[in-house]
Amino acid sequence: MEAEDKLYELIHTLDKSEKGFVKKLATLYSKEEANGARLFDIYNSVKEYDKKKIDQLVQKEKFANRIAVTKHYLYELILKGLKSYYGEKKDLYILKTQIQYAEILKDKGLYKQAFTIVKKAKKIGLHNEIYFPLIELISIERAMFRVYDANPNELEMLAKLSVEEEKQYKYLIEGILFFEKTCFQVTKFAHDMGREERSAIIIKLDEILNSDEYQNYLYLSSKKIKLLHQNVVVFNHFIRQEEIEFGREGEILLRMALDKNQSHPFNLRWIIQFVNNLAVAAAQFHNLELFVKCIEGIEALKKEIDDSRDFIYQLAETCLINLNCIYFFLSGDFKAGLKDSELHLEKETLNINAITDSLASTYLNKSIFHFLLGENHDAIKALNAIELYTEQHTTPYVDSECYVIKILSHIELGNTEIALYLAKLYKTLLEKESLAFQQRKILVDTIIENPWAEKNTIAEKIFQRIKEKNISADTCFGEILIDVSLWCICAIDKKSFTKEYQSISSKKTIYSLIEA
């Protein structure tokens, strides 16, 4: 094997769980088309090293001309991922070490010492709610019962207690796994709002909340379950658009997540994701007080990480970049948002590991603020930088909003021919997101049907169709979308798009700016 293919060697030393963890990192902020994830799949699919076969597969990809950069990015990502993976499992490895000690002492006949180790290990497991190793510890205990210096009645009692203890741990494991799955499902429901009818989502949500499993596991004595349940409660109110209840329960969730005195057994990655999702939901209700508290919470969590190259640190940093952008959008301070985006770009373009979706998102944020300030040429330049620097490390959201801003900017500049060309390209992408982006679909269809129409005519036709079909503003959980309806109104009435957006964004949510 050639020395340069250290990436192949590294990938094929990973076990199944390690590969799964690394793959999640590679697709955390991007979909399956992310270069790192695609390259990982290529290398993983070639079971016996074959450079020719790998090169043939790579040549089919859009990143073929930047393969060296992509390989470096993926190699660094895997190493960071493994560091994070094993760092998070620190308590688990302490437990496994204690189990080995107990086994050695038992085999040597040092039963009292072995029992002491088992007792200590159980304490660690119970505190951190790591129950799988506890079942193994119970097996060690049972093996020692047979030689334990006790009368038969006492041994029988110990055996019964051991059986009950094992049942309890297994039930707790089932409960935690159920709530982790439920928490993921309910958060996904929030992401799907706009892509699926809210009434249909609520039916699915009710089925989960009213199930016997949910009600039974809810009352288990588990800090993990309590926090997961609170997350479900918050997003239940979010999905039902119950603003007051969401704010009240969201404050409770934030306190639970950040309160170190509760010593909940979740690692930083989980907590950052909890708080980030809560912030995004708070933004929809324009709950700036809760939103800012979430940003401050993630800032505090980031300070607990010493190494700025650590994956968890970078996760916190990426969340903060996106949340700060939403804050400037909500507050209507577009100039400050533009300045913030430019500062982040100065840092990211110097960092090889920033050639990811994070870089694309930051360029998009810069473009959005330029567009909102009426700086159409600069908005287009920022979008062109995405293609130049990120080599297709983008999500469907980034791709979609790039098209919208380019189309509207070119219409503003009078470049109808370019707008028509872009609309035809965008139409294919929109077919996958037709329910979420209905206003955008009308925008594209209207331009294609009226190829040489002027700005005012296009705006009138788009707005008329939106009103006829009673279509709300397009939505995308956690992302900023340019409001097509508002653009139409400003074009028709010859008002300043910037001023109208600033006025309305201070009163409405980031998803439905003109519903009222």
| Residue 506: band (very low, low, confident or very high) from pLDDT cuts 50, 70, 90 | low
Q: Residue 497 pLDDT more than 80? A: yes
Q: Are residues 19 and 50 in the same domain?
A: yes
Of the residues 70, 88, 106, which one is the last residue of a structural domain? 88
Q: What is the mean pLDDT of residues 462-490?
A: 82
- Give the confidence band of 221 by pLDDT, cuts at 50, 70, 90: confident
Distance in angstroms (rounded) separating the CA atoms of residues 162 and 229: 29
Q: 154 or 327: which carries more pLDDT confidence? A: 327
State mean pLDDT over 444-465: 91
- With beta carbons less than 8 A apart as the criterion, state whether 237 and 249 touch: yes
The pLDDT value given to residue 352: 41
Residue 141 reports pLDDT greater than 80: yes
User: What is the band of 194 on the pLDDT scale with cuts at 50, 70, 90?
Assistant: low
**Among candidate residues 289, 316, 331, the one where a domain is terminated:** 331
Q: Which domain holds residue 67?
A: 3-88
Residue 94 CB contacts under 8 Å (≥ 6 apart), including other chains: 124
Instruction: Indicate if the pLDDT at residue 296 is higher than 90.
Output: yes
How wide is the angle at C-alpha 482 spanned by C-alphas 286 and 282, nearest 5°?
20
Q: Would you list the DSSP string of 326-379?
A: HHHHHHT-HHHHHHHHHHHHHHHTT-GGGTTHHHHHHHHHHHHHHHHTT-HHHH
Q: CA-CA distance, 254 to 479, in Å (whole number)?
A: 21
Mean pLDDT of the chain: 82
Query: In the prediction, which pLDDT does 410 show?
Result: 94
For residue range 5-62, list pLDDT tens digits in order. 788 888 888 877 778 777 766 665 444 446 788 888 888 888 888 888 888 888 888 7
On whether the CB atoms of residues 291 and 279 are closer than 8 A, the answer is: yes
What integer is the mean pLDDT of 175-186?
Answer: 91
* Domain shared by 320 and 347, yes or no: no
Question: Are residues 465 and 416 both part of a single domain?
Answer: yes
The reported pTM is 0.72
Are 385 and 509 within one domain?
A: yes
**The pLDDT value given to residue 34:** 65
Supply the pLDDT for residue 82. Answer: 74
Q: Are residues 340 and 437 in the same domain?
A: yes
* pLDDT tens by residue, 61-114: 878 888 888 888 888 888 877 766 665 566 777 888 888 888 888 888 888 888
- pLDDT confidence tier of residue 195, bands split at 50, 70 and 90: low
Question: Kindly report the CA angle at 332 between 30 and 459, in degrees rounded to 5?
Answer: 80
In this prediction, residue 483 carries a pLDDT of 85
Residue 126 pLDDT exceeds 80: yes
- pLDDT value for 363: 87
Q: Is residue 224 part of a domain?
A: yes
Q: Which of 33-42, 275-284, 417-426, 461-470 has the lowest mean pLDDT?
A: 33-42
pLDDT of residue 307: 67
Q: What is the pLDDT of residues 353-395, one digit of tens each?
A: 444 456 777 888 899 999 999 999 999 999 888 777 655 556 6
Question: 217, 182 in Cβ contact below 8 A?
Answer: no
- Lowest mean per-residue pLDDT among 140-144, 191-195, 468-472: 191-195
Residue 375: both structure tokens together? 């700086």
Range with the poorest average pLDDT among 21-30, 202-211, 345-354:
345-354
pLDDT band at 3, cuts 50/70/90?
Answer: very low
Tell whether 94 is covered by a domain.
no
pLDDT at position 448 is 93
Q: Are residues 384 and 514 in the same domain?
A: yes
The pLDDT assigned to 513 comes to 34
Residues 351 and 214 in one domain: no
Give the CATH number, domain containing residue 463. Answer: 1.25.40
Instruction: Confirm if 348 and 358 have CB atoms less than 8 A apart.
Output: yes
Same domain assignment for residues 25 and 79: yes
Percent with pLDDT over 70 in the chain: 82
Could you tell me which residue, 151 or 238, shows the higher pLDDT?
Answer: 238
299 and 350 part of one domain: no
Q: Are 390 and 443 in the same domain?
A: yes
Domain closes at, from 266, 293, 318:
266
What is the pLDDT at residue 39? Answer: 87
Query: Looking at residues 447-460, what average pLDDT do you find?
Result: 90
